C-alpha cells in the first residue's frame, strides 16, 4: 500500500475535492468578513493568542516527549500550578504581577525537576506507557493538592493596569493582555529555537534525542542535560499558566484540558517537529475561535440557521486531528518512525 | 602499568551471560586486535569497556591508567580519553557532518581542530552540511572515525569499522587507523570479523571464543598458522 | 485479497521500472542462477531496499528451487537480514518483486506470508517470553489452522493446535521442556524454540537467520543436524543465513554470496570455495602488499 | 500430573486440578456471595449501600483490563463506552419509551460500533499515540454530549427523570427490583449480570483469541512474522472491551438513577485506570481488587473523622482524608514505579504463596 505512496510525488497538484474545499473555505471567510468583519478579526486575534498558549505548552510537552520518550501528563498540572501560583502571588500576597511572571515559572520549573528526579528517572528505558501512567498519577496528586490549597471553585486575579487596558489597532480594539501573551509566546519560541539550534547545549540535546547512548559515549552527561530540559519545559508551562491566569482566570480542570489539547497539537503538527507544533497550535487556536463565527455567518446568509452547532469551537481541535490523521497519519510535518 | 587492563570480566544480557572471564591488557601506544566468531562476545567486551547500559556487568574489573572504570558512567570514561567507534557506527542521523564532529569536540577537554579531520578525510570536507543519514556506508564510517578522533583520545575502541565496505575503502580505513596509531600515538583496540584488516592494523591479537580469551597471538603467528585461524575464526 | 495484492504488484513493478532496471543492477555473478524466479520455490527479482541514500539491498535476483538448502553468506552489513526482512515484508521493499511457487506475493502484508507457506526465524531470540514452550508453539499452530485472524472465543480450534504443537515439539526435541516458561530456557533451547515456532506454521519455504549464532561448537553441529533432518523429513525449501563456514560449506546445496547488498555470486560449495572474488570480498585472504 | 499411582491421590489431584482450573469462576461466585454481607459488617463499612456500585465498577475495571492487561493497549477513553451504555439506556427510556431490555442492548451495540470505529482509526499507531488518541476521542465525545445534540443528552444537566425502568422501586436510597410479584434488592440483579459478564470475559481471556492477544502483547513483531494479523486482534480487543464496559454502564444507569455528564468525563476514564493498575493488571482479579480498594478507601476514609495516634492523642483527620484521592494517587505512583504490572493483587498473591509454602512445610513436619 505504501508502495503506492512512494510512487506519488510530493509536489503533486491538489486534487479536485481539495480545491473545492479550499474554495468553499475561502468563500465562507469572505462572507464572514462581509457580514461581521469586526467579530471575525477580533476572534482571529483571540485565536492566535489562544494558539500561542497552546504552542508554549505543546513545545514543553514535545521537548520532554522527544527526549525521554514520555508523554508528561503532569505537564498540564504544571501549567495549572503556574496560574494558581500567580493567583497566590498577586491576589493573596499582594505582590506585583511582574514578580509572579518571573518567580512562578522558576518555582514550577523546580517542581518539575523534583518530579523528574524522584519519579521519571526511575522509569528511563521502561515501557513508555509506564512513564505516561506515572506522570498521570502525579498529575492527579497535583490536582488534588491544588484543590486542598485553593479550593475547587474557579478563581481569578486582577492583572496590572497596563494589561487591563486595550490598544486601538485600526478599527479594532485589542486587549493588551492578549498582545502581551502573543509577545511572550513569540519570545519563547524564538528563544527555544536559538537554544536548540544555535548553541552547543542545543546540539547536545538534539544528539541525545537521536541516540542517547552514543551521546554519552562522546562524553556528554545526558541525564544532567535532561534535567535541565525538564526544568525549561516545566518553566514554560508555568509561564503560560501565569499568562492564561491573567487573561481568563483558573480552575482545576484547566491542566487536563490543556495537556490533551497540547497533545492534539503535537499529533497534528507531527511528532518531533518544533515548526509543526507552532503551525498546528496557531491553526488549532484560530480554528477554535473563528469556526463558530464563520459557521454562524454562513448559516445566517444561507438561511440555514438550524445548521449552526453551538459549541463547535471546542470540538475543532479534535475534528482537525481526526481529519489530519486520516489524510496524513504522521501529522503535518512528522518524520517517519519517530517514537513508535 | 598497562593503559587498559581487563580482568575476570563477566557480563551478559537479560537473555544470558555472554562473557565468562575476559582477561586482557593493552600497553600505551599499542594496536591490539580482538578476534573471534560471531557471538563470541567481541562487541559485548567493547561495550562493557565503554560502559554502555547493556551488557550488565556480573563480575571482574576494568582498570584504565590504574583506576577502576566499572563504577563510572560512560561519559566519565569518555572524559578520561577513551573514544569509541561502535558497530553500526551510531552517527546522529539528523545532524550534519559538521555537527557530528563538532558535538564530539565540544564535549572534549582538549579537542583537535575539526579542520584536521577534514584534512584527514577530504571526502567529508565536500559534504559538511549533509545529514549523516544521507551518506554512504563508507562515508559514514569515516565520519564515525573522525568523530571519535576529534576528541583527541588516548585510547580508541573500534568495533568492526570495515564491515560491509568496499575493498578500496577498507584499505583507506586501515591506513588511517594505522596512522592514528603510529603518528599520533593513540592506543587502538580493534574488533574485526575481517582477519586481514585486523592483521593490517594490529600487532597483537586476542582470540575470543564463547566468552573467553582462548588465544593471544602476534600478527605473524596468526598469518602463518592456518590451523589456528581455521579452528577459532572459521577462515 | 487477491485483488489488492495484484494491484500492489503492478504498482511495485512500475516503481521498479522507474527506479532501477533490474537487469542492469544485478551483479556479475548472477548468471549462476539459471532458474527463472517465477519458476522457483522462492524467487526474487530486482529486490531493493533503501534507507534514505543507503542501499541495504540493491537489486537482488534469487531463485531457489524446490527442496534446496541454500545458504546466504556475506560479511556483516552485507544486507542479509535486511534481505530476509524484505522477502517477508517485515520491511517494505523499495523496488522489486518476490515470488513464492511461481506466484507473485510482493504486496501482501507480512502476516499473510506464513499462510502462503513462507516463514522466517529471527537472528536474536524472539519469543513470547512469558508463556510456556508449548504455548509458544501452540499459538503459532493455531494461527496456521485458523488463519491470520479468528475470533475463536469458545476454543474450538484448541485441540487440533495442541496436537500439532506436540508434534512440532517432538520433531525439534523440545517435548521435555514443553511446560517451561520460554524466558527461562537456555540460549540454545531458545534458538531451537524459534525454529519450532517457524515449523508450526507448516511452511513450504523456511528462512533461518543465523540459527547457530551464540551457540558453542557442539551445539552448532547438533542444530545443523536438526535442520538437515527437518528439511529431509518435511521436504522443505530452506534459505539459511549462516556465519559458520564449516556448516555452510558442508551442508548447503548451493551458496549465494551477498556483498554490500548485491549478489556477488551463487554456486555450489566447491565453486564458492574456489571463487577468487569471494575469497577477496568475504574471506579476506588477499595479498598482504595491497593492504599495508 | 496424570500418571499418579494411587487412585485416592489421583482423585484428590484431579479435584485440586479442577479447582485450580476453575479458580476464576469459583472466585467470582464467592465474591458475589460474600461482598455484600462482608462490607456490611460493623468492622468494615457497616453498610451494604455501595456493594452494587462496587460490582459495577469491578466489571468496568475487568473490561478495561481485557484491553490493557491482556493486549497491552492503554485507553484513557473508556468513559466513552461506560457513558454510551448509560446514555443508551437513559435516552431509550426517556425519549423513546423503550423497555430496558431493548434500550440496554442498543446502548451496548452502539458502544461496540463506536469502539470498532475508533480502533480501526488509531490501532496502527504506537502505544503512547494510541493512549493519547483515545483520550482525545473521549474529550471530543464529552464535548458532543455536553452540547446536547437534538435535545437528546440534556447537556450539562444529564438525564434524570424518566430514566428508571418501571420494575425498579427506589426508596431511601435503596433500589429494589420488582419482578412477578416478588421483589429483591438491586444488588442481586447486578450480581447476576456481573457473574455472566465476568465469566464471559474470563472465557475470552482463556480462549485461543485471548491467548493470541497475550502473545501479541509479548512480542508484536514476532506475532506478525508468525502469521497473526495483529491489528485486527487489537481492534477486536478494543471492541470487546468497549462492549463489556457498556454493559457495566447499563447497570450503572439504574444504580445512579440516571445519566450525568461526568460519566463521559475525563475523570471516569482516569479512575478505571487507577483502579485497574493499582489492583494489578497482570491478573484477572487484579482490577477487581483495585475497584474494591478504591471504593472501600473512599467510603472508609471519608467517614473517618478522628484517629487515635499514640503519644499525640486523637487527631482530627477528617479534613486531610477528604483529599483521599491525593493519597490514592501517591500509592498509585508508588505501585507504578516499583512493580507496574503486579499491583495489590500481585502483592496479596505473593503473601498467599508464602503462607501456603510455610503451611505445607509445617504439615510435612
* pLDDT of D61 strictly over 90: yes
Q: Do the Cβ atoms of B39 and C216 come within 8 Å?
A: no
Confidence at residue C285, expressed as pLDDT on a 0 to 100 scale:
38
- Has residue C289 got a pLDDT over 50? no
Distance CA A107, CA A85 (A): 9
Q: Nine-digit cell at B210?
A: 564463547
Give the pLDDT confidence score for residue C117 in this predicted structure. Answer: 93
Are A218 and B78 contacting, i.e. CB atoms less than 8 angstroms apart? yes
> pLDDT averaged over chain C?
81
The answer, yes or no, to whether C and A have at least 3 beta-carbon pairs within 8 Å is: yes
C238 phi-psi bin (left φ>0, alpha ψ -120 to 50, beta other): beta
Q: Are B167 and B17 in contact (CB under 8 A)?
A: no
Name the residue with higher pLDDT: A126 or C249. Answer: C249
Indicate if the pLDDT at residue A309 is higher than 90.
no
Instruction: Report residue A8's pLDDT band, with 50, 70 and 90 as the boundaries.
Output: very low
> Distance (Å, rounded) from C-alpha D258 to C-alpha D86?
8
CATH architecture assigned to B1-81+179-235: 3-Layer(aba) Sandwich (3.40)
According to the model, what pLDDT value does residue C137 have?
A: 95
Q: Are D128 and D81 members of one domain?
A: yes
Task: Measure the CA–CA gap between A302 and B66, rounded to whole angstroms.
Answer: 85
Interface partners of chain D (CB pairs < 8 Å, 3 or more) are A, C
Tell me how far apart the alpha carbons of residues D48 and D185 are, in angstroms, rounded to a whole number.
11
CB–CB contact A3 C18 (8 Å): no
pLDDT of the residue at B94: 86
Proportion of chain A in helix, strand, coil states, percent, rounded to 5: 75, 5, 20
CA distance C69 to C256: 11
Of the candidates B52, B53, B78, which has its C-beta nearest A218's C-beta?
A: B78
Q: Is B96 helix (H, G, I), strand (E, B) or coil?
A: strand
Distance between CA atoms of residues B76 and B61, nearest Å: 16
Contact predicate C177/C185, CB 8 Å:
yes
CB contact under 8 A, A322 and D121: yes
Q: What is the pLDDT of residue C243?
A: 78
Subunits with 3+ Cβ pairs within 8 Å of A are: B, C, D
Give the best residue of A1, A3, A9 to mutate against chain C (max C CB count within 10 A): A3
pLDDT of C20-57, one tens digit each?
Answer: 333 333 344 444 567 888 889 999 999 999 876 678 89
| Confidence at residue C76, expressed as pLDDT on a 0 to 100 scale | 66
Q: Alpha-carbon distance A140 to D329, whole Å?
A: 6
- How is chain C split among helix, strand and coil, in percent rounded to 5? 45, 20, 35
Q: Which of B133, B165, B196 sits opposite C286 (nearest CB)?
A: B196
Residue D156 to residue D209: CA distance in whole angstroms: 40
Q: Please give the average per-residue pLDDT across C268-287, as a whole number.
A: 68
Interface test with chain A among D64, D125, D136, D320, by most A beta carbons within 10 Å: D136
Each residue of A258-271: b (16+ CB within 10 Å) or e?
bbbbbbbbbbbbbb
DSSP string of A11-74?
TPPPPHHHHHHHHHHHHHHHHHHHH-HHHHHHHHHHHHHHHHHHHHHHHHHHHHHHHHS---TT
Average pLDDT over residues D151-178: 84
| CA quadruple D49, D55, D60, D62: dihedral sign | positive
Q: Rounded CA gap, A136 and A77, in Å?
A: 10
Asked if chain B contacts chain D via 3 or more Cβ pairs within 8 Å, the reply is no
Q: Give pLDDT, residue D301.
A: 76
Q: pLDDT over 70 for what percent of chain D?
A: 92
Query: What residues in A contact C12, CB-CB < 8 Å?
Result: 3
Q: Which of D211, D214, D225 sits opposite C88 (nearest CB)?
A: D225
Question: Could C113 and D227 be called an inter-chain contact, meaning their C-beta atoms sit closer than 8 Å?
Answer: yes
What are the backbone angles phi and psi of residue C35, rounded to the nearest 5°? -80, 145
Kindly report the backbone phi and psi dihedral angles of residue C50, in degrees, each rounded to the nearest multiple of 5, phi listed first.
Answer: -115, 140
User: How many C-beta atoms surround the C-beta of residue D127 within 10 A?
Assistant: 17
Per-residue pLDDT tens for D291-320? 999 898 888 877 776 666 666 666 666 667
Task: Quote the minimal CA–CA distance from C256 to chain B in Å.
Answer: 16
What is the per-residue pLDDT for C4?
39
Over residues A325-339, the mean pLDDT reads: 68
Q: Which domain holds residue D214?
A: 49-264
Size of the A and C interface in Cβ pairs below 8 Å = 19
* pLDDT at B98 > cutoff 90: yes
Model confidence band, residue D1 (pLDDT cutoffs 50, 70, 90): very low
pLDDT at site B63: 93
Q: Do residue B52 and residue A217 have CB atoms under 8 angstroms apart?
A: yes
* Percent of chain D whose predicted confidence (pLDDT) is above 90: 48
pTM tops 0.90, yes or no: no
Taking contacts as CB-CB distances below 8 angstroms, the residues of chain D near A288 are: none
- Chain segment B149-165, per-residue pLDDT in tens: 999 999 999 998 887 67
Q: What class does CATH assign to A45-327?
A: mainly alpha
Helix H segments across chain D? Answer: 7-21, 23-40, 51-71, 79-96, 100-122, 127-146, 186-206, 208-218, 220-225, 230-255, 266-279, 286-303, 318-321, 324-338, 343-364
Same domain flag for D55 and D191: yes
Domain boundary among D264, D279, D299: D264
Q: All 3 cell numbers of residue D15?
A: 479435584
Which of B90-94, B223-227, C41-45, D295-299 tops mean pLDDT? C41-45
Quote the minimal CA–CA distance from C15 to chain A in Å.
6
Of A128, A141, A329, the CB nearest to D330: A141
Q: How far apart are the first and last CA of chain B?
A: 35
Q: List CB contacts (< 8 A) between A204 and chain B.
A: 103, 106-107
d(CA A322, CA D137) in angstroms, rounded, equals 9
Residue C6 pLDDT: 39
Indicate if D24 and D85 belong to the same structural domain. no
Asked whether C4 and C107 are in contact (CB, 8 A), the reply is yes
Rg (CA), chain B: 17
The pLDDT, as a whole number, for residue C51 is 79
pLDDT of residue C188: 85
Q: Which residues of C touch A2 (CB under 8 A)?
A: 92
Return the pLDDT at C193: 94
Which residue intervals of B84-235 are DSSP H helices? Answer: 97-107, 114-120, 122-125, 137-149, 167-183, 195-201, 219-224, 226-233
Q: What is the DSSP secondary structure assignment for residue C209, as one 8-state letter?
A: E
- Report CB contact under 8 Å: A4, C11: yes
Q: Do C78 and B39 touch (CB under 8 A)?
A: no
Do D218 and C90 count as a contact with CB atoms less than 8 A apart? no
Q: Is the pLDDT of residue D46 over 80?
A: no
Nearest to A144 among D72, D133, D323 (CB): D323
Q: Which grid coordinates belong to A201?
A: 547545549
Question: Best-predicted range by mean pLDDT among A296-300, B217-221, D52-56, D159-163?
Answer: D52-56
C15 or D12, greater pLDDT: D12
Q: Which residue has the higher pLDDT, A8 or B72?
A: B72
pLDDT value of position C199:
94
Segments making up each domain of chain A, as ranges: 45-327
Number of domains, chain D? 3
C50: left (phi over 0), alpha (psi -120 to 50) or beta: beta
- Phi first, then psi: give them for residue C181, nearest 5 degrees: -70, 135
B196 grid coordinates: 586481514
Nearest-CA residue of chain A relative to C108? A1
DSSP A80-127: HHHHHHHHIIIIIS---HHHHHHHHHHHHHHHHHHHHHHTGGGGTTS-
Chains A and D touch (3+ CB pairs under 8 A): yes
Which pLDDT value is given to residue C13?
37
Predicted confidence at residue A296, as pLDDT, reads 85
Chain D contact for C119, CB < 8 A?
Answer: yes
User: Residues D247, D310: one domain?
Assistant: no
Biggest CA–CA distance in chain D, Å, is 74
Rounded to the nearest 5°, which phi and psi values hold at D265?
A: -75, 165
Q: Is the pLDDT of residue C214 over 80?
A: no
Q: Which residue of A has its CA nearest to C17?
A: A7
pLDDT, tens digit, 9 for 90 and up, residues C61-99: 999 999 999 999 887 667 888 999 999 999 999 999 999
Same domain as D337, residue D347: yes
Strands B155-159 and B67-68: unpaired
- DSSP letter assigned to residue C283: I
Helices D266-279 and D79-96: crossing angle in degrees, nearest 10, is 130
Backbone phi, psi, residue D275, to 5°: -60, -50
Give the pLDDT score at C121: 92
Rg (CA), chain A: 21
Q: Where are the beta strands (DSSP E) in C101-194?
A: 103-104, 118-120
| C149 touches D at CB < 8 Å | yes
Instruction: Give the CATH number of domain C37-114+240-291.
Output: 3.40.50.300
- Show which subunits contact C, needing at least 3 CB pairs below 8 angstroms: A, B, D
Q: Is the pLDDT of residue C106 over 70?
A: yes
B96 interface with A at CB cutoff 8 Å: no
Subunits with 3+ Cβ pairs within 8 Å of B are A, C
Same domain membership, residue D249 and residue D100: yes
Amino acid at each position: 500500500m505504501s508502495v503506492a505512496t512512494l510512487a506519488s510525488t510530493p509536489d503533486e497538484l491538489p486534487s479536485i475535492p481539495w480545491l473545492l474545499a479550499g474554495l468553499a473555505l475561502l468563500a465562507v471567510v469572505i462572507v464572514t468578513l462581509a457580514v461581521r468583519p469586526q467579530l471575525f478579526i477580533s476572534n482571529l486575534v483571540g485565536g492566535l493568542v489562544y494558539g500561542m498558549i497552546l504552542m508554549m505548552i505543546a513545545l514543553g510537552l514535545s521537548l520532554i516527549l522527544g527526549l525521554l520518550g514520555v508523554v508528561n501528563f503532569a505537564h498540564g498540572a504544571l501549567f495549572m500550578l503556574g496560574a494558581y501560583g500567580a493567583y497566590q502571588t498577586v491576589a493573596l500576597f499582594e505582590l506585583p504581577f511582574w514578580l509572579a511572571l518571573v518567580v512562578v515559572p522558576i518555582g514550577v520549573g523546580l517542581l518539575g525537576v523534583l518530579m523528574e528526579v524522584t519519579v521519571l528517572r526511575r522509569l528511563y528505558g521502561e515501557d513508555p506507557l509506564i512513564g505516561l501512567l506515572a506522570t498521570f498519577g502525579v498529575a492527579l496528586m497535583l490536582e488534588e493538592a491544588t484543590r486542598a490549597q485553593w479550593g475547587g471553585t474557579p478563581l481569578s486575579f486582577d492583572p496590572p493596569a497596563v494589561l487591563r487596558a486595550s490598544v486601538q489597532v485600526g478599527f479594532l480594539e485589542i486587549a493588551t493582555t492578549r498582545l502581551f501573551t502573543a509577545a511572550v509566546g513569540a519570545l519563547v519560541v524564538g528563544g527555544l529555537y536559538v537554544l536548540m539550534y544555535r548553541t552547543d547545549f542545543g546540539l547536545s540535546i538534539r544528539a541525545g534525542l537521536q541516540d542517547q547512548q552514543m551521546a554519552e559515549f562522546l562524553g556528554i552527561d545526558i541525564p544532567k542535560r535532561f534535567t535541565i530540559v525538564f526544568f525549561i519545559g516545566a518553566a514554560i508551562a508555568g509561564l503560560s499558566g501565569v499568562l492564561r491566569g491573567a487573561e481568563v482566570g483558573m480552575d482545576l480542570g484547566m491542566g487536563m484540558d490543556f495537556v490533551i489539547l497540547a497533545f492534539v497539537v503535537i499529533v497534528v503538527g507531527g511528532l518531533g517537529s518544533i515548526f509543526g507544533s507552532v503551525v498546528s497550535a496557531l491553526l488549532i487556536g484560530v480554528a477554535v475561535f473563528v469556526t463558530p463565527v464563520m459557521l454562524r455567518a454562513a448559516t445566517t446568509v444561507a438561511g440555514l440557521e438550524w445548521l449552526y452547532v453551538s459549541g463547535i469551537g471546542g470540538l475543532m481541535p479534535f475534528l482537525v486531528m481526526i481529519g489530519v490523521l486520516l489524510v496524513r497519519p504522521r501529522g503535518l510535518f512528522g518524520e517517519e518512525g519517530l517514537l513508535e | 602499568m598497562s593503559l587498559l587492563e581487563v580482568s575476570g570480566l563477566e557480563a551478559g544480557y537479560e537473555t544470558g551471560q555472554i562473557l565468562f572471564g575476559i582477561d586482557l591488557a593493552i600497553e600505551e601506544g599499542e594496536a591490539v586486535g580482538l578476534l573471534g566468531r560471531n557471538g563470541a562476545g567481541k562487541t559485548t567486551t567493547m561495550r562493557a569497556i565503554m560502559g554502555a547500559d547493556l551488557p550488565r556487568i556480573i563480575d571482574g574489573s576494568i582498570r584504565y591508567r590504574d583506576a577502576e572504570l566499572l563504577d563510572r558512567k560512560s561519559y566519565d570514561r569518555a572524559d578520561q580519553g577513551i573514544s569509541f567507534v561502535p558497530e553500526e557506527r551510531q552517527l546522529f542521523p539528523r545532524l550534519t557532518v559538521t555537527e557530528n564532529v563538532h558535538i564530539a569536540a565540544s564535549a572534549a577537554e582538549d579537542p583537535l581542530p575539526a579542520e584536521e579531520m577534514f584534512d584527514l578525510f577530504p571526502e567529508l570536507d565536500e559534504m559538511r552540511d549533509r545529514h549523516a543519514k544521507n551518506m554512504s556506508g563508507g562515508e559514514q564510517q569515516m565520519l564515525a572515525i573522525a568523530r571519535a578522533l576529534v576528541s583527541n583520545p588516548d585510547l580508541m575502541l573500534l568495533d568492526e569499522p570495515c564491515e560491509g565496505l568496499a575493498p578500496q575503502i577498507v584499505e583507506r580505513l586501515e591506513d588511517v587507523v594505522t596512522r592514528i596509531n603510529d603518528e599520533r600515538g593513540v592506543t587502538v583496540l580493534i574488533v574485526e570479523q575481517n582477519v586481514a584488516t585486523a592483521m593490517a592494523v594490529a600487532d597483537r591479537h586476542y582470540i575470543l571464543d564463547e566468552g573467553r580469551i582462548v588465544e593471544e597471538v602476534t600478527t605473524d603467528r596468526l598469518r602463518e598458522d592456518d590451523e589456528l585461524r581455521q579452528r577459532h575464526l572459521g577462515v | 485479497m487477491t485483488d489488492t495484492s495484484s494491484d500492489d504488484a503492478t504498482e511495485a513493478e512500475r516503481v521498479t521500472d522507474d527506479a532501477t532496471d533490474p537487469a542492469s543492477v544485478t551483479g556479475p555473478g548472477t548468471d549462476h542462477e539459471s532458474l527463472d524466479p517465477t519458476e522457483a520455490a522462492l524467487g526474487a527479482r530486482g529486490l531493493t531496499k533503501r534507507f534514505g541514500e543507503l542501499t541495504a539491498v540493491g537489486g537482488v535476483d534469487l531463485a531457489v528451487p524446490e527442496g534446496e538448502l541454500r545458504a546466504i553468506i556475506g560479511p556483516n552489513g552485507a544486507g542479509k537480514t535486511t534481505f530476509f526482512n524484505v522477502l517477508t515484508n517485515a520491511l517494505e521493499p523499495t523496488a522489486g518483486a518476490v515470488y513464492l511457487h511461481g506466484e507473485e506475493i510482493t504486496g501482501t502484508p507480512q502476516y499473510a506470508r506464513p499462510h502462503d507457506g513462507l516463514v522466517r526465524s529471527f537472528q536474536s531470540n524472539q519469543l513470547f517470553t512469558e508463556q510456556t514452550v508449548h504455548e509458544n508453539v501452540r499459538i503459532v499452530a493455531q494461527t496456521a489452522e485458523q488463519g491470520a485472524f479468528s475470533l475463536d472465543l469458545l476454543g474450538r480450534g484448541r485441540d487440533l493446535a495442541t496436537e500439532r504443537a506436540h508434534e512440532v515439539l517432538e520433531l525439534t526435541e523440545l517435548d521435555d521442556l514443553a511446560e517451561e516458561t520460554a524466558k527461562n530456557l537456555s540460549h540454545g533451547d531458545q534458538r531451537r524454540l524459534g525454529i519450532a515456532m517457524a515449523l508450526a506454521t507448516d511452511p513450504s519455504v523456511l528462512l533461518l537467520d543465523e540459527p547457530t549464532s551464540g551457540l558453542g561448537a557442539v551445539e552448532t553441529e547438533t542444530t545443523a543436524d536438526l535442520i538437515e533432518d527437518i528439511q529431509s523429513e518435511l521436504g522443505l525449501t530452506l534459505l539459511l543465513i549462516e556465519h559458520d563456514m564449516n556448516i555452510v560449506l558442508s551442508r548447503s546445496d548451493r551458496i549465494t554470496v551477498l556483498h554490500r547488498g548485491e549478489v556477488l555470486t551463487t554456486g555450489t560449495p566447491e565453486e564458492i570455495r574456489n571463487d577468487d572474488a569471494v575469497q577477496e570480498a568475504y574471506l579476506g585472504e588477499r595479498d598482504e602488499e595491497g593492504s599495508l | 500430573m496424570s500418571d499418579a499411582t494411587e487412585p485416592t491421590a489421583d482423585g484428590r489431584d484431579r479435584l485440586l486440578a479442577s479447582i485450580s482450573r476453575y479458580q476464576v469462576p469459583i472466585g467470582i461466585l464467592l465474591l458475589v456471595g460474600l461482598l455484600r454481607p462482608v462490607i456490611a459488617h460493623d468492622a468494615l463499612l457497616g453498610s451494604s449501600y455501595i456493594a452494587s456500585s462496587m460490582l459495577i465498577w469491578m466489571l468496568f475495571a475487568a473490561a478495561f483490563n481485557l484491553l490493557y492487561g491482556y493486549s497491552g493497549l492503554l485507553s484513557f477513553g473508556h468513559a466513552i463506552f461506560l457513558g454510551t451504555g448509560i446514555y443508551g439506556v437513559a435516552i431509550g427510556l426517556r425519549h423513546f419509551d423503550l423497555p430496558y431490555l431493548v434500550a440496554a442492548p442498543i446502548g451496548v451495540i452502539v458502544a461496540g460500533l463506536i469502539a470498532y470505529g475508533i480502533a480501526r482509526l488509531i490501532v496502527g499507531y504506537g502505544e503512547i499515540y494510541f493512549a493519547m488518541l483515545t483520550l482525545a476521542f473521549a474529550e471530543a465525545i464529552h464535548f458532543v454530549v455536553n452540547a446536547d445534540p437534538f435535545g437528546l443528552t440534556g447537556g450539562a444537566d444529564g438525564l434524570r427523570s424518566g430514566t428508571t425502568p418501571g420494575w425498579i422501586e427506589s426508596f431511601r436510597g435503596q433500589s429494589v427490583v420488582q419482578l412477578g410479584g416478588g421483589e429483591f434488592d438491586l444488588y442481586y440483579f447486578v450480581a447476576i449480570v456481573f457473574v455472566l459478564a465476568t465469566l464471559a470475559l474470563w472465557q475470552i481471556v482463556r480462549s485461543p483469541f485471548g491467548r493470541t492477544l497475550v502473545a501479541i502483547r509479548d512480542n508484536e513483531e514476532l506475532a506478525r512474522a508468525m502469521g497473526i494479523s495483529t491489528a485486527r486482534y487489537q481492534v477486536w480487543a478494543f471492541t470487546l472491551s468497549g462492549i463489556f464496559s457498556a454493559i457495566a454502564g447499563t447497570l450503572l444507569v439504574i444504580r445512579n438513577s440516571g445519566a450525568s455528564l461526568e460519566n463521559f468525563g475525563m475523570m471516569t476514564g482516569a479512575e478505571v485506570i487507577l483502579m485497574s493498575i493499582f489492583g494489578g493488571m497482570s491478573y484477572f482479579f487484579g482490577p477487581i481488587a483495585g475497584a474494591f480498594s478504591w471504593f472501600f478507601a473512599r467510603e472508609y476514609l471519608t467517614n473517618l473523622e478522628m484517629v487515635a495516634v499514640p503519644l499525640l492523642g486523637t487527631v482530627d483527620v477528617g479534613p486531610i482524608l477528604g483529599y483521599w484521592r491525593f493519597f490514592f494517587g501517591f500509592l498509585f505512583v508508588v505501585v507504578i514505579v516499583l512493580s507496574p504490572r503486579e499491583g495489590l493483587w500481585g502483592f496479596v498473591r505473593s503473601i498467599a504463596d508464602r503462607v501456603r509454602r510455610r503451611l505445607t512445610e509445617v504439615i510435612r513436619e
